Structure 1
Amino acid sequence: MSFLAVFTQEKSGGFSVSVPALPGCFSQGNDINEAKKNIKEAIELYLEDENIDPSHENSWY
């Protein structure tokens, strides 16, 4: 399952990142690589919390 992540370089340093398709799914990192790692974890936790099984992305019920 893939999601668009929007990265913003902060004036104070580091990056913030959000996933528009997942309301409230945000993260940050001191550099772009850390932000990528953190948002992947945030997406996993979001999907787990919402009881969404990413292996069924194309399933219709």
Structure 2
Amino acid sequence: MVKYRVIIEKDEDGVLVARVPDLPGCATEGRTREELMKNVKEAIQVYLEALKE
């Protein structure tokens, strides 16, 4: 399994935002850390699937 570095920041509304520098444009958000981690895993999967098409 490939591991990607994820940068997590909090926006001005308190929402957690994650981006994956090695996958340009791959970003997501979540209200909680748990939600964010679920969303970022899904975002990476969707990104990689789109590359296959």
TM-score after normalising by structure 1: 0.78
- Counterpart of 2:13 in structure 1 is 12
**Separation (CA, whole Å) in 2 of partners of 1:38 and 1:3:** 14
Counterpart of 2:9, as a letter, is: T
- Counterpart of 1:49 in structure 2 is 50
Paired residue total: 51
Q: Deviations over 1:18-39 (max 9, x none)?
A: 0000000000000111111101
Q: Percent identity?
A: 35
Between Structure 1 and Structure 2, whose CA radius of gyration is higher?
Answer: 1
Where does the alignment leave 5 or more consecutive residues of structure 2 unmatched?
A: none
Which 4+ residue blocks in structure 1 deviate beyond 6 angstroms? none
Where does the alignment leave 5 or more consecutive residues of structure 1 unmatched?
A: 52-61
> How far has the Cα of 1:14 moved from its partner?
1.8
Contact 1:16 1:27 in 2 (8 A): yes
Contact 1:14 1:32 in 2 (8 A): no
> How far has the Cα of 1:11 moved from its partner?
2.5
